[in-house]
Amino acid sequence: MTSLSPLLKQATPVIVDHAEGSWVHGTDGRAYLDFTTGIGVTSTGHCHPRVVEAARAQVGSIIHAQYTTLMHRPLLELTEKLGEVLPAGLDSVFYANSGSEAVEASIRLARMATGKPNIIAFHGGFHGRTVAAASLTSAGTKFRSGFSPLMGGVHFAPFPYAFRYGWDEDTAVDFALRELDYVLQTVSSVADTAAFIIEPVLGDGGYLPTPPRFLDGIRERADRHGILFIIDEVQAGVGRTGKFWGHQYSAATPDIIITAKGLASGFPISAIAASTELMSKGWAGSQGGTYGGNAVAAAAAVATLDVVRDEGLVDNARVRGEQLGAALKALQPEFPQMGDVRGLGLMQAVEFTTAAGEPDAAAALAVQQAAIDQDLLLLTCGGFGNVVRIVPALVVTADEVEQGVQRFAAALKVGLG
Ligand code: PMP
């Protein structure tokens, strides 16, 4: 009998029968509160009626047009709608299917536009699993080890991970900016560096918001040295952080932005945007692909952007995120293993540590597993695997957050008991 590969690491044993909003109904007859959202993908909740309707209607007219062969209406509409939310000046877009592909495309674009080879990424970043994207990833050796040699020309600089260093945020940012200058001085010269790439909130690397002053510092260096700034909004974008883009907590803007996950509520599509001037430095045909910008996915993305706007989901993410963060912090005195509680909007996390302050991956896993018995679905993350991330749909209600926190508290009791 054929079975799924052991190379896949299954976070829960749940088999889905159907799902709606924040709820997943298992074939076991149980209703699970889904605070994983397919790793931050089902932004408008599972099977939002407007997304379902848009996809259903599109399937009946054209499913696949291959967008460099035939243009189709959903993609034109999506491109126009993205224009309403993209940072100023980023007026040129192309599409792929996944976050990793978008990351790869952004690297090709940056190298092509600058004629320079190197990319500087930051410790703890996650940018995907394809070879180029994995080469930029340092959220854990499991994403790299055994696959070498990865793509060359990638260098890493420290991320201002204040909690791990035991520093305040300003000290961590000062340190990381000094080290970034040192990398430019000693490892990857300005003349060789095409781009910096960073997430606005480290995702798989531990749900660590990137301090606004760090983003500003990278932007300033990018301007000073003629280096491009790529912001990877694959997980943090489309309202998840309580702003439309996660980087909007800072004044810094990217030269290239990439988005995926929440963009189409579960349909695979990613977008890469930059200025027309930057895009014009490459040649026609240098980007593209068979499935990118699929018509059904594009129609779902249009519906998603409409729902995000019409239902005020960016504000909801901010308000419900504040509720969730405050409720989690209130649990800390009772559970000292909750070393750090942090997040932006509906990217909230608990970092578990031992009494000695060391990363405690066993505690994170025990809580995540105990939560399943409470009918609450969660994920772990972090370079040490000691972080539980809480990723509700942007439509989550105050009552669902409250229920989630109660179930989380019960899981803490059992898991840490
Ligand atoms: N970038 C970021 C910030 C991500 O969180 C992810 C996925 N976790 C990726 C890139 C890769 O996306 P995908 O899995 O769709 O290839």
Q: How far is the CA of 60 from the centre of ligand 1 (A)?
A: 30
Residue 117 C-alpha to ligand 1 middle, in angstroms?
A: 23
Structure-token pair, residue 40: 């931050």
Q: Tell me which residues have their CB closer than 6 angstroms to ligand 1.
A: 39, 98-100, 103, 126-128, 199, 203-204, 232, 234-235, 260
- pLDDT tens-digit map of 259-317: 999 999 999 999 999 999 999 999 999 999 999 999 999 999 999 999 999 999 999 99
Q: What is the 3-state secondary structure (H, E, C) of 136-164?
A: CCCCCHHHCCCCCCCCCCEEEECCCCHHH
Domain 51-310 maps to which CATH number in 1.10.10.10, 3.40.640.10, 2.60.40.10, 3.20.20.80? Answer: 3.40.640.10
Q: What is the pLDDT of residues 192-226, one digit of tens each?
A: 999 999 999 999 999 999 999 999 999 999 999 99
Residue 417 pLDDT grade (very low, low, confident, very high; cuts 50, 70, 90):
confident
- Of 127, 143, 261, nearest in space to 196 by CA: 127
CA distance 370 to 412: 8
Contact 207, 39 (CB under 8 A): no
Which amino acid is located at 261 in the chain? K
Whole-number average pLDDT of the chain: 98
Closest C-alpha to ligand 1, atom 10: 127
pLDDT digits (tens, 9 = 90+) for 54-71: 999 999 999 999 999 999
- Of the CATH numbers 3.30.360.10, 3.90.1150.10, 2.40.420.20, 3.40.50.880, which one belongs to the domain with range 16-34+312-416? 3.90.1150.10
The Å distance, Cα 204 to ligand 1 centre, comes to 9
- The DSSP-derived string for 178-216 is HHHHHHHHHTS-GGGEEEEEE-SEETTTT-EEPPHHHHH
> What residue ranges do the domains of the chain occupy?
16-34+312-416, 51-310
12 touches 372 (CB < 8 A) = yes
Whether 164 and 158 have beta carbons less than 8 Å apart is answered as no
Across 165-189, average pLDDT: 98
Torsion of CA 303, 393, 138, 220, to 10 degrees: 70
Tell me the pLDDT tens digit for each residue of 107-157: 999 999 999 999 999 999 999 999 999 999 999 999 999 988 999 999 999
